[in-house]
Each structure stands twice: as C-alpha cells, then as structure tokens.
Amino acid sequence: MLIAYRCRVCGETYLGEEKPKDCPYCGADKIYLQQVEEYDRLKPDSISKKSEGNIRKAINLEIDNAKFYVCASKKTKDEKESAIFKRLAKIEAEHAEALAELLEIEEKDIPDYKECSEDAIENYQESHNREERAIGHYKKFATEAEEKDLEVFFNAIAKIESDHLELSESKLS
C-alpha cells in the first residue's frame, strides 16, 4: 500500500510503500521524512534579520551551484556523468526553492553559468570546490541561527552537500 511521506526540508511529498533512504527531491536523510498525518515542516514562525541575511546568501549559493550543474550536464560529453550532473542541478534548485519558501519570497534569477567543461573530471573538481564552500557556509549559518528549526535545516542541507562532496571525491580518486 502506498504511504505518503513528506520532507521536512523541502516540503515535497513522496508516495511509496516504504520510506526511501533519502528524500528523492532534495536529498535529505530519511529522518526528515514524516508521514503526512504527522507532518511538521522545518519553518520558523519568525526569522531574525541575521538569519534572513544568511538565508538570502544560501539562496544565491544554491542557484549559482544549480546553474553550474545545468551547464555541466549540458556540456559533459560522457552521458552517464551528464545524467549525474543533471540530478545534482535539480537537487540544488530544490534547495534554493526550499530556502526561498522559508522567507516566502520568489527566487531571483541569475545569469546562466557558462564556464563549465566538457570533461567530467574537471566538472567534478569544480563541484568539489562548490560543495566544500556550501558546507562551510551552512555549518556557520546553523551555528548562527537562533531559530531551532533553521539550525536543523542548515545542518540537514550541509549533510546533503557532504554526500555530494563524497561523490566528487570518489570520482576524483
């Protein structure tokens, strides 16, 4: 029987017979998936100015990374690697959307990224730099957040980006 699970990070709903290991949309660990009946989204009632600024920085970071992965998926010659970059682009776009929803704002559009490579390994090197940067920011934002939900949220996405870092490390080794 299908059960509806909803993600506390991105708000998307997954229909399945059991909980997946990670959210199929944003990549959050399954501990953030709840049955819809008991759903409690990670969304503070009010957000401090400091946190608002950090969320805006995070949105820009995510959109920029999403655009990089879109570029990488289009340019990378190797079809298997291109497919992986396409998935990463969607995950980062999902993060940007989830962050924008915290502030109830529209994501702003930024220009398309054009500097990526046709070579998968070069793109994984760039991916590695970007994920490392993102993790550093999110860990800092989590510590700075006075809102409990936001602290959990930033730690959840830092963990997802760590999984992406592991992926690039395995490709680069």
Positions that interact with Fe ion (CB under 5 A): 7, 9-10, 23, 25-26, 28, 62, 92, 95
Nearest distance from C-beta of residue 96 to Fe ion, angstroms? 8
Residues 6+ apart with CB under 8 A from 173: none
Nearest to 92 by CA among 119, 79, 120, 73: 73
Nearest distance from C-beta of residue 6 to Fe ion, angstroms? 9
User: How many CB atoms are located within 10 Å of the residue 87 CB?
Assistant: 13
- Tell how far CA 29 is from the center of its chain: 12
Nearest distance from C-beta of residue 154 to Fe ion, angstroms? 11
Phi, psi of 50 (to 5 degrees): -60, -50
Closer CB to Fe ion, 23 or 120, in the complex: 23
Rounded Cα distance, 64 and 147, in Å = 26
Closer CB to Fe ion, 47 or 135, in the complex: 135
Query: By the 8 A CB rule, do 54 and 139 touch?
Result: no
Closer CB to Fe ion, 75 or 159, in the complex: 159
What is residue 20's DSSP assignment?
A: -
Closer CB to Fe ion, 9 or 59, in the complex: 9
Nearest distance from C-beta of residue 77 to Fe ion, angstroms? 25
Q: Give Cα separations from 167 to 28, 131, 135, 152 (angstroms).
A: 15, 10, 14, 23
Closer CB to Fe ion, 30 or 171, in the complex: 30
Nearest distance from C-beta of residue 135 to Fe ion, angstroms? 9
The answer for 11, left when phi > 0, alpha when psi is -120 to 50, beta otherwise, is: left
